[in-house]
Amino acid sequence: MKRKIPIGVLFSETGATAVIEKTQLEATRLAIVEANRSLETAGFELVPHHLDPQSQPQLFATLGEKLILEKRVNILFGCYTSSSRKAVLPVVEKHNRLLFYPTLYEGFEFSPNVVYAGACPNQNIIFLAEFMFSTFGKSCYLVGSDYVYPYESNRVMKDLVHGFGGQILGEQYVPMDAGPSYFQPIVEDLASSSPDFVFSTVVGNATKHFYEAYREAGLSAEAMPIASLTTTEAELAIMRPEARAGHFTSAPFFASLLLDPRRSRWSHLLQQAGVPLNQCWESAYSQVLLFAESLASVGSDDPTRIVQDLRGREFDAPQGTIRIDPDNNHTWVIPRIGRSKSDGSFEIIRESRGGVRPDPYLVSYAISSS
């Protein structure tokens, strides 16, 4: 008889960041189905309990505790924004539960109760900055959503720009639910200041409004591209085609990677996913399968034992081989840069030779795969 393992799932189906969180939710659901097939021989079955936090950080915390107390979950999969992760963090630490967090983030954090499956700054922003400086120039304009991740990412970008002798020509923040009107004065200022590139940490539905306002203002992706860590295939899918072409994103995974014969093991996901595949989807998908492997190995969903088993564990993910670093619970990922296309996909134009060790505290500002 199979032992049923309750797991908590916290991704928003409504609110400002639902456009990306819904892809993480679908990735989690798909991975659970696959994980349960592999867990049959080990005698386990994952039973998910999903609640919708509505893109509200405090609701993430409230619902996380509800899942722990009422559904008796030891393991939580969820959170997109850093604000939501920081809200859930004291909950999992208080109850000694484990959160799998599948999103790129600003770094400068470690908790033994979190597995960080997305990229941290040395795995995306440095890779992106070096490319933009060498290709377009070193004057930059910063545009972000008004919460912790954009502020911290912009702080790192400012250090990089100044370190390379460049200039920051402007810095603007908009509400999480910003509509088109918020971007009109920003694109007007961009037109007059003419930076070499724009660094965007705008998230959710607001990304569509920014890119479309950019296009409507006559700003050229060829002359002044937007470089981002947060614009994925999910955000491109809701934009007008003419607004989404020619910009750059740094991420460990793009859906177009699965067209490569070397990744044919995962090509079925292009048809099965049902949502635009993207870096946050891939992290959410892979972390469930990583947990399932660890569950079968340990024979228990005890958070402490799972974390101990995960440290150093490798997994052949859709992006390539990833590894949980034994020193900081962050994931070795493969940095890539993609250029967006009018059909909503990315052309991969640069990638690391292999996995890059996570350096969440940015001890070094250099890219290294060793």
pLDDT digits (tens, 9 = 90+) for 326-348: 999 999 999 999 999 999 999 99
Return all residues near 135 (Cβ < 8 A) that are at least 6 apart: none
Residues of the chain above pLDDT 70, percent: 98
Question: Do 199 and 141 form a contact (C-beta atoms < 8 A)?
Answer: yes
Residue 102: predicted pLDDT: 98
Average pLDDT of the chain to the nearest whole number: 96
What is the full DSSP assignment across 255-323? GGGGGSGGGGGGTTHHHHS-S---HHHHHHHHHHHHHHHHHHHHSS--HHHHHHHHTT-EEEETTEEEE
Residue 211: its pLDDT value, please?
Answer: 98
pTM above 0.85, yes or no: yes
Contact of 225 with 198, CB cutoff 8 Å: yes
User: Which CA distances in Å does 327 have to 112, 295, 338?
Assistant: 10, 21, 30
pLDDT surpassing 70 at residue 369:
no
Give the pLDDT score at 262. Answer: 87
Which stretch of 79-83, 105-109, 363-367 has the lowest confidence by average pLDDT?
363-367
pLDDT one-digit tens code per residue, 94-121:
999 999 999 999 999 999 999 999 999 9
pLDDT number for residue 368: 44
Mean pLDDT confidence for 198-223? 97
Does residue 18 surpass a pLDDT of 80? yes
The larger pLDDT score, comparing residue 311 to residue 262, is at: 311
At 366, the pLDDT band (50, 70, 90 cuts) reads low
Distance CA 343, CA 205 (A): 18
Q: What's the pLDDT at 370?
A: 35
Q: Tokens 């892979």 — which residue?
A: 286
Q: Please determine, for residue 180, whether its predicted confidence score (pLDDT) is greater than 80.
A: yes
